[in-house]
């Protein structure tokens, strides 16, 4: 019985020594379970403290496509609510609801009988004042009247002419004409109604060409240009519509930190209506962007890092990233084309630790773009 106990103790001691030498013996730069070295048999470490084996990716440049997804609203190219300038009774109403009208078409006529009578009176007064002015002009030439008397007569004539122009302006206010060609909305008045400047008569909209307003995060401001192409969809239709950016708000909205953008949309088919909700896709192209695989980027509290392999050692490099998707990340600062970036074994590396390259990885296949929607906009990136 004692013999078997002794054999078991010897086996346990030998097993413990072997286990210690294999898994817990320190390697150069730290213990086997720390960041400086990896346990034997795993990618990143060898028994005895050899260099960590990693796969690398050589930084290259590609054309990236960033697709910003936003929400917007369609607006009429031109729109005006029609109100009368003066109070009066409608004596002529030429509004056909939902029909097109041409610029300058008479829409509403208010009663103007009193103004017409006043205009006739003033014209008669004008004729009389002109005759008086002509006679006194001859008298002035002969010395029959003084210059002061003649100037008073001329002033009276000019005052009458001014009163005529005031009356004509008042008569023009009794007519409401279409300021531009467009489609009439629903009217709110009838023939014979007495209206005031606060009475909404109807709405006129120009819809053969429309505007599309939407917002994107401020970080896309430098990339959005006049002429950028957009596509969008509306509820109730599977058709994709296109437009182009023609105006950008100079400032960013403080409340949302978004940049307002306006695009021009053709509506020759008349399928689009003002006020419609639109889901907008704005494509932003970035040429010659430096890219690295997504798995090579190490998130930090205030930024990101990658491990660059230089002279057989690991160098932790701070970088700034731009566009990204599930496969690649754009690096805007911190790397140069041709740098070798580690893609595996990152948890086993520490600054200046020895590294050997096991494999050089390459991007294969076409990276598919993905979109992500937020409160107002999202983005995705893909390689061209």
Region 315-333 average pLDDT: 85
Closest among 44, 24, 40, 23 to 353, alpha carbons compared: 44
- Residue 99's pLDDT is 93
Q: Name the helix (H) or strand (E) containing 84.
A: none
Residue 311, phi-psi category: left (phi > 0), alpha (psi -120 to 50), beta (remainder): left
Of the two residues 236 and 72, the one the predictor is more confident about is: 72
> Which sequence spans correspond to the domains of the chain?
30-65+287-383, 67-78+207-284, 79-195
Residue 327: pLDDT band with limits 50, 70, 90 = confident
Tokens 């970088």: give the residue. 319
Mean per-residue pLDDT, 88-99: 94
Q: Which fold has domain 67-78+207-284?
A: Elongation Factor Tu (Ef-tu); domain 3 (2.40.30)
Q: What is the mean pLDDT of residues 62-85?
A: 90
Do 30-65+287-383 and 79-195 show the same overall fold? no
pLDDT per position as a tens digit, 185-210: 999 999 999 999 999 999 999 999 99
Given CATH 2.40.50.140, say whether it is the number of domain 30-65+287-383. Answer: no
Residue 36: DSSP 8-state: S
Residue 101 reports pLDDT greater than 80: yes
Strand partners, 78: 206
Residue 29 pLDDT grade (very low, low, confident, very high; cuts 50, 70, 90): very low
**Cα–Cα distance between 134 and 140 in angstroms, integer?**
10
Q: What is the mean pLDDT of the chain?
A: 83
Domain 79-195 = CATH 3.40.190.10: no
Better-scored residue on pLDDT, 364 or 210 = 210
- In this prediction the pTM is 0.62
- For the chain, the farthest-separated pair of C-alpha atoms sits apart, in whole angstroms, at 162
């Amino acid at each position: 019985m004692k013999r078997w106990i002794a054999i078991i103790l010897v086996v346990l001691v030998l097993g413990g020594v072997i286990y210690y030498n294999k898994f817990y013996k320190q390697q150069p730069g730290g213990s086997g379970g720390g960041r400086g070295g990896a346990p034997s048999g795993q990618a990143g470490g060898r028994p005895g403290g050899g260099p960590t084996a990693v796969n690398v990716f050589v930084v290259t440049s590609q054309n990236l496509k960033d697709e910003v997804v936003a929400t917007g609203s369609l607006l009429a190219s031109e729109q005006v609510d029609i109100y009368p300038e003066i109070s009066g009774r409608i004596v002529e109403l030429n509004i056909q609801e939902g029909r097109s009208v041409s610029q300058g078409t008479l829409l509403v006529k208010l009663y103007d009988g009193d103004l017409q009578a006043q205009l006739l009176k003033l014209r008669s007064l004008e004729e009389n004042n002109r005759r008086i002015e002509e006679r006194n002009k001859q008298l002035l030439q002969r010395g029959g009247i003084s210059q002061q008397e003649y100037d008073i007569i001329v002033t009276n004539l000019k005052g009458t002419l001014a009163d005529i122009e005031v009356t004509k302006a008042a008569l023009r206010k009794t007519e409401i004409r279409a300021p531009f060609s467009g489609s009439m909305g629903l009217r709110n008045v009838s023939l014979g109604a007495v209206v005031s400047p606060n009475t909404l008569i109807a709405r006129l909209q120009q819809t053969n060409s429309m505007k599309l307003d939407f917002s994107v995060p401020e970080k896309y401001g430098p990339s959005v240009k006049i002429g950028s192409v957009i596509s969008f969809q509306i509820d109730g239709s599977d058709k994709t519509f296109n437009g182009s950016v023609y105006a950008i708000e100079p400032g960013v909205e403080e409340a949302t930190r978004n940049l307002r953008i306006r695009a021009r949309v053709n509506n020759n088919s008349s399928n689009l209506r003002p006020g419609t909700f639109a889901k907008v896709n704005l494509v932003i192209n970035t040429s010659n962007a430096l890219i690295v695989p997504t798995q090579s980027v190490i998130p930090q509290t205030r930024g990101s890092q990658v491990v660059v392999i230089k002279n057989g050692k690991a160098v932790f490099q701070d970088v700034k990233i731009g566009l990204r998707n599930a496969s690649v990340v754009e690096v805007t600062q911190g790397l140069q084309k041709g740098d070798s970036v580690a893609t595996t074994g990152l948890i086993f590396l520490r600054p200046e630790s020895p590294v050997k390259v096991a494999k050089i990885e390459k991007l294969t296949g076409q990276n598919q773009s993905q979109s992500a929607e937020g409160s107002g906009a999202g983005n995705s990136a893909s390689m061209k």
